[in-house]
Amino acid sequence: MSAITTLSRGDVINIRRDSLMQFLLVYPLLLGLLLRWGIPWFSAGLMDTFDLTPYYLFIASFFGLIIMPDLAGSLIGLLLLDERDENTLTALLVTPMPITTYALYRVIAPTLISFVGILVLVPLIGIEVPPTGALLVVALSASLGAPIFTLLLASLAKNKVEGIAVMKGMGVLLLAPMIAWFVPQPWQWLLGIFPTFWSAKAYWLAVTGESWLWVALVGGVYAVGIVWLLLRRFQSGLYK
């Protein structure tokens, strides 16, 4: 617990001195409030020319569910790059703290942030909200993808400057559920190669009253498998 406390305190200090990280923390709340009041207003304005209501589920799942793992993973990934720039990671190798503890902390932190963020953001947006039990399971499944963004950022970027560019490139993981929405069955399942697809699909099924649990479970297991592979690569890279 002392190791977790030390790491958490360091993260708070780093976030306080970085305006981008501070923005990533408040962005979901601002986004939720904007969508809560903006979607009905925008939909009413378009009523005579375009019916937005068939896309409510698409909007809710993307902004309420898919965005949070990306934001949480990117936030922790940037903190990790900060520590790399400051040679903190090198220093950790000669401290009593097991490197496994540090690595697990960097996996669990974005998962928890994402999970809590989804549980706040989806009801805040307030459209096409699944039942509470389904929301909890789907939120957990989606949140297990947050460490993927963290570890990809740490693996592909050498410093924080490169990290900003990598964040843009990781947007392809956000595009998969968006594309799947417009792809007819059964072809949309081909997009299951992207871990973000599964939680979005489970969300859609939960809202429409169809069988969703197995989809969320498959997505969660798939995300954990990817995280495990990326984590092994990350840990081995610390010793090079």
CB 102 within 8 A of CB 41: no
Quote the number of domains for the chain.
1
- Judged against a pLDDT cut of 90, whether residue 12 lies above it is answered with no
Per-residue confidence (pLDDT) for residue 92, from 0 to 100: 65
Residue 74 burial class via C-beta count within 10 angstroms: exposed 0-12, middle 13-18, buried 19 and up: buried
Domain range for 218 = 2-237
CB 215 within 8 A of CB 198: yes
- Judged against a pLDDT cut of 90, whether residue 199 lies above it is answered with yes
pTM above 0.85, yes or no: yes
- Mean model confidence pLDDT for the chain: 85
Q: Which residue has the higher pLDDT, 2 or 109?
A: 109
- What number is the average pLDDT over the span 50-56? 84
Mean pLDDT check: name the lowest of 26-30, 54-58, 225-229: 26-30
Give the number of C-alpha atoms closer than 13 A to the C-alpha of residue 41, restricted to the C-beta side. 6
